[in-house]
Structure 1
Amino acid sequence: MFDTKVALIVRDDLASWQRLNVAAFLATGIAAAAPDALGLPYLDAAGTPYGNMLGQPILIFQADLHGLQSAHKAAVQGHLTIIPYVFSMFSTGHDEANRQAFLAEDPGNLNLVGLGLRGPKKAVDKAIKRLSLHP
């Protein structure tokens, strides 16, 4: 049905509000990185217009830090679209500060709390191998 796959991975030791916040930010990152994946705007029977959404399913997984780092490594090797969220971004208040927090991370040991991935199905499947769906 779809040649691509979208997966969000959130860290399993986060509070519920953090998991939801990370998933929301990752989803917006995927939409921004892949505008071609957006469907058309919605219209209800009364003619009220609504916004558009991603035109394909988004699967949400959970992982510990090691699982996120492994998925990240596979995503880089698979040349996937990668949207990162690191722990230090919880303490920032705006986008520029988020980018600075991410830039300060050790690229070989990112303190990831979330990843958004999009790309060919097989490459995404390889990155999320052994991860469990979020309950």
Structure 2
Amino acid sequence: MTTEPIRFDTKIAVLLRADVAPWQELNVTSFLIAGIAAAHPDLIGEPYTDADETVYLPLLRQPVVVLSGDRERLSTTLGKAVSRGLATAIYTAQMFQTGHDEANRAVVRDVRRDDLDLVGIAVHGARNAVDKTCKGASLHP
């Protein structure tokens, strides 16, 4: 077992809008990370087992950076992520009003990218590309 820090070639970042409620931040983060993990199964590690041989589900193999910004920062970051071809997940304010995945996709489908009322985005890709894409966002408090 190695205990030395590992520097990953890729990075996962979540950018949350600064004016949403704490419960919404947690909800949005969960949904966004699920999207990244579903699109990139290689990011998932091995199951965990404790000393009693109880098996637990695997987790992401690398840390997630959580950032904060205003509406404009989220929109700008989304544009950069798309233009750079980064894997991107989004969550819009309208999705808080729906009750299931099909309805979530419908409310996103009705709005042009530049008009999305983003409350969170997640990006995954090469470390430098993610850093450049998220430049200007603050670490989440």
Task: Report the counterpart of residue 90 of structure 1 in structure 2.
Answer: 96
Task: Report the counterpart of residue 8 of structure 2 in structure 1.
Answer: 2
Give 2:130's aligned amino acid.
V
For residues 44 and 113 of structure 1, the distance between their equivalents in structure 2, rounded to whole angstroms, comes to 37
Give 1:87's aligned amino acid.
A
Verify: 1:51 aligned to 2:57, yes or no: yes
Deviations 1:55-86 (A, max 9, x none): 00000001110000011011011110000101
Give 2:36's aligned amino acid.
I
Deviations 1:65-109 (A, max 9, x none): 000001101101111000010110000000000000110112222
Give 1:44's aligned amino acid.
D
Task: Report the counterpart of residue 3 of structure 2 in structure 1.
Answer: none
Verify: 1:79 aligned to 2:85, yes or no: yes
Matches within 5 A, 1:111-126: 111-126=117-132
Secondary structure, aligned partner of 1:79 = coil
Q: Give the TM-score normalised by structure 2.
A: 0.93
Task: Report the counterpart of residue 103 of structure 1 in structure 2.
Answer: 109
Give 2:47's aligned amino acid.
P
Verify: 1:26 aligned to 2:70, yes or no: no
For residues 122 and 73 of structure 1, the distance between their equivalents in structure 2, rounded to whole angstroms, comes to 16
Deviations 1:37-68 (A, max 9, x none): 10000000110000001000000001110000
Give 2:29's aligned amino acid.
A
Identity of aligned residues (%): 46
Between the two proteins, the alignment pairs up a number of residues equal to 135
- Which residue among 60, 69, 74 is the counterpart of 2:66? 60
For residues 121 and 39 of structure 2, the distance between their equivalents in structure 1, rounded to whole angstroms, comes to 13
**Runs ≥4 in structure 1, deviation > 4 angstroms?**
none
Give 1:17's aligned amino acid.
W
Give 1:35's aligned amino acid.
P
User: Which structure 2 residue ranges, 5 or more long, are not aligned?
Assistant: 1-6
User: Which structure 1 residue ranges, 5 or more long, are not aligned?
Assistant: none
For residues 111 and 119 of structure 2, the distance between their equivalents in structure 1, rounded to whole angstroms, comes to 13
What's the offset of the Cα at 1:110?
1.5
